[in-house]
Chain A
Amino acid sequence: METLSHLYDGLSLLMGFTPLVVILAGVIVGILAGAMPGISPSMAVALLLPFSFGMSPSMGIVLLCSIYLASNYGGSITAVMINTPGTPSAVVTAFDGYPLTRKGQAGTALGVSLIASVVGGFVGIIILVLFSAPLARMALKFWPAEYFALAILGLSTIASLGGGRWLESFIAVMLGLLLNTIGLDPLSGVSRYTFDFIRLYDGFSFIPVLIGLFALSEVFMGIESGEVNRPPVLPEREKSPWPTLRDYFKLKFAMLRAGVVGTVIGVFPGAGGTIASFIAYDIEKRLNSDPDSFGKGNPFGVAAAEASNSSSVGGALVPLLTLGIPGSSSAAVLIGALMIHNLQPGPELFTKHPEIVYTLFSSLFVANIFLLFLGLLGARLWIKAALIPKRLLYPMIFAFSFIGSYAVRSSVFDVGVCLAFGLLGWMLVRSKFPVSPIVLGMILGTMIEKNLRATLMMGGPALFLQRPLSLVLLALAFASGVIPYLRERKRKKALRKS
């Protein structure tokens, strides 16, 4: 009850002209920045950081939180329209969103990703407000053994990525894991496979790799297949391109499930939204009556990916507010913002400045509503991208990839990386190798290695089995990796017999 009255107070603070304009500005900037490949949510938050100096602490935080929330959605726009995830966490949204657009159903892809984003966002915020204390306690139960097991669970989702091509998926994930070892060793700082080249010390930057593997490879495929010469697939004229309320309602459980998964996994620092969306997508695929349609344009896939990725915003704020530890890189920038205003992030914030915490909570609610309306408005605009002829769209995608890769670290080398991964992706895709396991391998590689070795240093391999949580997670990963494989073999055998 006390929470509610605090929330009400926070909400009433926001019901003025200035706060609403601040939220509006934050949401607009966030959507645009998220849609721009190369500008991650954390960069968007950081870019507006200087503007927040001049504001009161609570307005500054409101601005930054609105951007953070909105940019997580913005990343999905380019993911579904041109197969270019604007943010790493939008990778999974592209799996089904882009095939939908190719089928001429860009409206469905855009609509579902927006609604899922908003629903997921609400789930995340509600869980944050109500259950942050128990979630933080759970986060403290996680040792490197559990982080390792969680990463392995994430890895087991490759079962749903390859579309039945097991061998190719395994090859791709191993390649991703291996490429991830380039750079400084996370435990000893030893330089590995860097060829004395300083730009490689941190390994490949993630965004250029992503743009190359997804966007450029797709463009190259389009040029090779001659799709570039064909006119764009237009939505049927008589029908509205947008899904109906009933269409959305069918997705309700998918969104809620994914929202919960996203929030809970978003709590763990370093795991965050990206792994959450892989796992949520995997769960939805297993529960769906038609799992084979995943990856070919199933709205359930878009809903799961986008809801979990937006709800992870709420999750990432849990350790920030309860322990003073950021759950994601954007949350880390929020800590910087708090510090500039001489506020210490952490549990003391609740006791010393409850008004700021509750303004933050309420602003997330309000920003989410703004996101819904601005998103609906924007979607009418984005859908036009589907009408651009490929011979003009492709050069633009190159131009976007170029500057987006450069912007991440102001590095020309990264643009080269993007092109190289584009060609690699093209060669793999045309030979029927899936590229998303490479991305999964590169996301999880460091997490697996660091926690594996830390556990071994702490007490040897027995720790994985002695700690109940880690044991459960590992068993879950084993089951989710092996069962589909066995089922598939059985099916193939049955097919052969008949």
Chain B
Amino acid sequence: MENTLIFLGTLQGLLVIFAGFLLFLTAAFALFRGPRYAPVRIRLMLCISLLYIAFVFFLLSFGLDEIAAVGSSARTVPRLWAAGLALFSGVALRRALKGKAPADPEKGDVRRVLAAAAIVAFSLWGMDIAGYFLSSAAMIILLCLLLGERRPGVYLSLTGSWLLFSWLVFSKLLTLGLPSGILFG
């Protein structure tokens, strides 16, 4: 038990926890497939995710070091908050199941939101390779295109002025070491 907990506290453990989360969520999704739950499905999934988070924090607290000399345990307070989160999320879950919760909002342009997030994530990943300036230029141009700016003159000058501004203020004035990337490093 002890060893499992210690393993879960490492980076590989985090992957296991995440895999567990996906499994748990899929199972919950299958369970609440019925049309009865359709109006509150997202809310149900949110509450279930929060319950899982509370559970993980609670479980991992047993693997935290105890230092007798300090005279105060590092485990208590996280458990307290985890219990609180579980309690309130549980109540919210029950209310949603009983149909007492507000219905989910109407789904908007979720695909565009995810695309925007993906562009930012992509540029974040690219920062280590292409450096800050190139990757943030790509990010701004792609976002402009995604959000409906079609005039190259507008989005290119916007990108250009941002790069100039960030170079002047952050690189030159504040001497902040922006990532230069493998390509130019």
Direct contact of A and B (CB under 8 A): yes
Task: Collect the chain B residues with CB atoms within 8 Å of residue A185's CB.
Answer: 64, 74
Inter-subunit contact B176/A453 (CB<8 Å): no
Inter-subunit contact B120/A402 (CB<8 Å): yes
Residues of B at the A interface (CB closer than 8 Å) are: 9-11, 13-14, 42-43, 46, 50, 53-54, 57, 60-61, 64-65, 67, 70-72, 74, 76-78, 81-82, 84-85, 88-89, 91-92, 95, 102, 104-105, 108-110, 112-113, 116-117, 120-121, 123-124, 127-128, 132, 136, 139-140, 143-144, 147-149, 154-155, 158, 162, 166, 169-170, 174, 176-179
Residue on A nearest B107 in the bound complex, by CB? A224
Per-residue contact bits, chain A 381-418, to B (CB 8 Å; 1 contact, 0 not): 00000000011101110110011001100101001100
**Which of B50, B60, B127, B166 interacts with A412 by CB under 8 Å?**
B127
A128 to chain B, nearest CB (A): 30
Overall SS of chain A's interface: helix
Inter-subunit contact A457/B72 (CB<8 Å): yes
**A403-B170 in contact given A223-B113, A394-B143 (Cβ < 8 Å):** yes
**Which of A171, A427, A449, A453 interacts with B92 by CB under 8 Å?**
A171
Could you tell me the distance between the alpha carbons of A430 and B113 in the complex, rounded to whole angstroms? 12
**Which of A195, A197, A428 interacts with B46 by CB under 8 Å?**
A428
Inter-subunit contact A192/B64 (CB<8 Å): yes
Inter-subunit contact B148/A229 (CB<8 Å): yes
Residue on B nearest A43 in the bound complex, by CB? B174
**A167-B92 in contact given A188-B70, A192-B64, A402-B120 (Cβ < 8 Å):** yes
**Which of B91, B117, B147 interacts with A390 by CB under 8 Å?**
B147
**Which of B53, B76, B91, B120 interacts with A419 by CB under 8 Å?**
B120
How many residues of chain A have a CB within 8 Å of chain B? 64
Inter-subunit contact B71/A220 (CB<8 Å): no
Inter-subunit contact A412/B120 (CB<8 Å): no
Inter-subunit contact B67/A391 (CB<8 Å): no
Could you tell me the distance between the alpha carbons of A322 and B43 in the complex, rounded to whole angstroms? 52
Could you tell me the distance between the alpha carbons of A412 and B129 in the complex, rounded to whole angstroms? 12
Q: What are 15 inter-chain pairs, A to B, with CB distance below 8 A?
A: A167-B92, A171-B85, A174-B85, A175-B53, A391-B147, A392-B149, A395-B147, A396-B140, A398-B120, A407-B176, A416-B124, A431-B43, A431-B105, A432-B105, A448-B77
Chain A 422-440 interface residues, beta-carbon cutoff 8 Å to B: 422-423, 426-428, 430-433
**A419-B109 in contact given A193-B60, A395-B144, A457-B72 (Cβ < 8 Å):** no
Task: Collect the chain A residues with CB atoms within 8 Å of residue B144's CB.
Answer: 391-392, 395
Inter-subunit contact A419/B117 (CB<8 Å): yes
In the complex, A129 has a CB within 8 A of chain B: no
In the complex, A47 has a CB within 8 A of chain B: yes
Inter-subunit contact A178/B85 (CB<8 Å): yes
In the complex, A1 has a CB within 8 A of chain B: no
Task: Collect the chain B residues with CB atoms within 8 Å of residue A192's CB.
Answer: 61, 64, 74, 78
Inter-subunit contact A392/B81 (CB<8 Å): no
Inter-subunit contact B154/A419 (CB<8 Å): no
Chain A 223-241 interface residues, beta-carbon cutoff 8 Å to B: 223-226, 228-229
Overall SS of chain B's interface: helix
In the complex, A168 has a CB within 8 A of chain B: yes
Task: Collect the chain A residues with CB atoms within 8 Å of residue B65's CB.
Answer: 188, 190-191
Per-residue contact bits, chain A 22-61, to B (CB 8 Å; 1 contact, 0 not): 0000000000000010010000000100000000000000
Task: Collect the chain B residues with CB atoms within 8 Å of residue A395's CB.
Answer: 139-140, 143-144, 147, 155, 158
Interface-centre pick from B54, B60, B74, B82 (highest chain A CB count, 10 A):
B74
- For the complex with contacts A399-B166, A457-B72, 10 further pairs of A-B residues with Cβ separation under 8 Å are A174-B84, A178-B81, A181-B78, A188-B72, A190-B67, A193-B9, A395-B144, A398-B139, A403-B166, A430-B42
B90 to chain A, nearest CB (A): 10
Could you tell me the distance between the alpha carbons of A226 and B144 in the complex, rounded to whole angstroms? 15
Task: Collect the chain B residues with CB atoms within 8 Å of residue A143's CB.
Answer: none
Could you tell me the distance between the alpha carbons of A368 and B24 in the complex, rounded to whole angstroms? 56
Inter-subunit contact B77/A224 (CB<8 Å): no
**A195-B10 in contact given A174-B81, A394-B143 (Cβ < 8 Å):** yes
Residue on B nearest A413 in the bound complex, by CB? B124
Could you tell me the distance between the alpha carbons of A415 and B178 in the complex, rounded to whole angstroms? 12
Could you tell me the distance between the alpha carbons of A220 and B88 in the complex, rounded to whole angstroms? 26
Inter-subunit contact A432/B102 (CB<8 Å): yes
Inter-subunit contact B148/A228 (CB<8 Å): yes
Inter-subunit contact B81/A171 (CB<8 Å): no
**A187-B82 in contact given A47-B174, A416-B124 (Cβ < 8 Å):** no
Task: Collect the chain A residues with CB atoms within 8 Å of residue B112's CB.
Answer: 223-224
Inter-subunit contact B77/A171 (CB<8 Å): no
Inter-subunit contact A419/B77 (CB<8 Å): no
Could you tell me the distance between the alpha carbons of A188 and B176 in the complex, rounded to whole angstroms? 33
B135 to chain A, nearest CB (A): 9
Could you tell me the distance between the alpha carbons of A177 and B109 in the complex, rounded to whole angstroms? 32
Could you tell me the distance between the alpha carbons of A268 and B91 in the complex, rounded to whole angstroms? 37
Residue on B nearest A391 in the bound complex, by CB? B147
